């Protein structure tokens, strides 16, 4: 993995020392990296980047590998998208030899090192690298120079419901909020997300709210609320006498067809 990082850095360094390694290629001939971990791109930010490229030129070329139908992008997804957005025709590129395995790793590592992924994309990227290299979180920590705690906490975000993940991606909640929601069921997560957005709750306030709910749930005095009664014998007896009865865990309802049935029941109770 360190060698891959070196290849990316070396390719950029060669821009200065070996000008002939950089070529101008048609944007229409470049296909996105199919292994790109980044899924969410803010269009306004891309447009600003595109206008800058259009005005001042591309400072750092994209990296591509040659393909039968043109080129496949290895690194520089934002630069490629931004250039297309402002309708440029060509882009400067460094051409490297690469296979699918390396392309996947290039895309993952470049985005991680440049902090261009949102928290969910980053979690998927960490998981993909662990799977690709068959390594532990501790080993990944050493290779990409991120703390093991950071990697563990980021991977835990994948346990969140899809709706909560979407709220995080769209920046409606922060990564700090999301981390304290891990462990809640989907309904509880949605309730907390709505509260965070509607009431602008801080991470501390969310933690306090979750703690309060858990304490109430574990309070022995609250267990009286889950007591239920067996009404089967009473219900059978009433049915035998011609009455209609319905019951829930803690109550029974008797339905009367007319006033005569009410009098009948009163007589039975007075015996």
Terminal-residue alpha carbon distance, the chain = 88
**Rounded Cα gap, residues 256 and 248, in angstroms:** 18
Burial class (CB within 10 angstroms; exposed 0-12, middle 13-18, buried 19+) of 81: middle
Centroid of chain to Cα 252: 46
> What is the CB-side half-sphere exposure of residue 51 using CA atoms within 13 A?
5
Determine phi and psi for 247, rounding to 5 degrees.
Answer: -140, 155
Smallest CA-to-CA distance from 102 within 33, 27, 21 is with: 33
- Give me the pLDDT at residue 190, please: 92
- Give me the pLDDT at residue 110, please: 62
DSSP 224: G
- Give me the pLDDT at residue 8, please: 45
Smallest CA-to-CA distance from 88 within 112, 125, 62 is with: 62
- Give me the pLDDT at residue 242, please: 82
- CA angle in degrees (0–180, nearest 5) for 170-174-179: 120
Domain ranges of the chain: 2-117, 173-226, 232-270
Cβ proximity of 161 and 189 under 8 Å: yes
- Give me the pLDDT at residue 20, please: 38
**Rounded Cα gap, residues 249 and 227, in angstroms:** 7
pLDDT tens for the chain, 271 residues long, are 444 444 444 444 444 344 436 788 899 998 887 666 666 677 787 888 888 888 888 878 888 888 778 888 887 888 888 898 889 999 988 887 766 566 666 666 665 655 567 888 888 888 887 887 788 888 888 877 788 898 899 899 999 999 999 999 888 999 899 999 998 899 999 999 999 998 888 999 988 888 887 776 665 555 555 566 777 788 778 888 888 888 777 788 888 888 888 888 888 887 7
Q: pTM of the entire structure?
A: 0.49
- Give me the pLDDT at residue 222, please: 54
The topology (CATH level 3) of 2-117 is 3.90.1530
> What is the CB-side half-sphere exposure of residue 263 using CA atoms within 13 A?
3
**What number of residues does the chain have?**
271
Q: Return mean pLDDT, the chain.
A: 78
Cβ proximity of 159 and 182 under 8 Å: yes
- Give me the pLDDT at residue 104, please: 62
**Rounded Cα gap, residues 93 and 64, in angstroms:** 7
Instruction: Report the interhelical angle of 162-169 vs 186-199 (nearest 10°).
Output: 30
**Rounded Cα gap, residues 63 and 72, in angstroms:** 9
Cβ proximity of 247 and 253 under 8 Å: yes
Smallest CA-to-CA distance from 129 within 53, 37, 63 is with: 37
- Give me the pLDDT at residue 102, please: 63
């Amino acid at each position: 993995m360190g060698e891959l990082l070196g290849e990316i850095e070396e390719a950029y360094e060669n821009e200065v020392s070996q000008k002939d390694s950089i070529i101008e290629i048609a944007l229409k001939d470049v296909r996105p990296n199919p292994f790109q971990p980044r899924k969410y791109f803010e269009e306004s930010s891309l447009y600003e980047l595109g206008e800058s490229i259009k005005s001042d030129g591309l400072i750092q070329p994209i990296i591509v590998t040659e393909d039968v139908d043109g080129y496949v992008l290895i690194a520089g997804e934002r630069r490629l998208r931004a250039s297309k957005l402002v309708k440029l025709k060509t882009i400067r590129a460094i051409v490297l030899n690469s296979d699918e395995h390396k392309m996947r790793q290039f895309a993952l590592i470049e985005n991680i090192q440049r902090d261009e992924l949102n928290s969910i994309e980053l979690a998927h990227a960490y998981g993909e690298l662990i799977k690709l290299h068959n390594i532990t979180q501790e080993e990944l920590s050493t290779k990409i120079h991120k703390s093991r705690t950071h990697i563990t906490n980021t991977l835990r975000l994948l346990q969140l419901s899809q709706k909560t993940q979407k709220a995080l991606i769209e920046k409606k909640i922060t990564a700090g909020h999301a981390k304290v929601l891990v462990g809640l069921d989907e309904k509880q997560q949605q309730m907390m997300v709505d509260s965070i957005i509607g009431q602008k709750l801080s991470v501390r306030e969310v933690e306090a709210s979750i703690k309060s709910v858990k304490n109430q749930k574990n309070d022995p005095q609250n267990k009286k609320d889950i007591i239920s009664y067996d009404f089967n014998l009473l219900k059978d007896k009433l049915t035998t006498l011609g009455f209609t009865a319905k019951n829930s865990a803690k109550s029974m309802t008797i339905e009367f067809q007319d006033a005569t049935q009410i009098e009948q029941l009163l007589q039975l109770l007075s015996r």
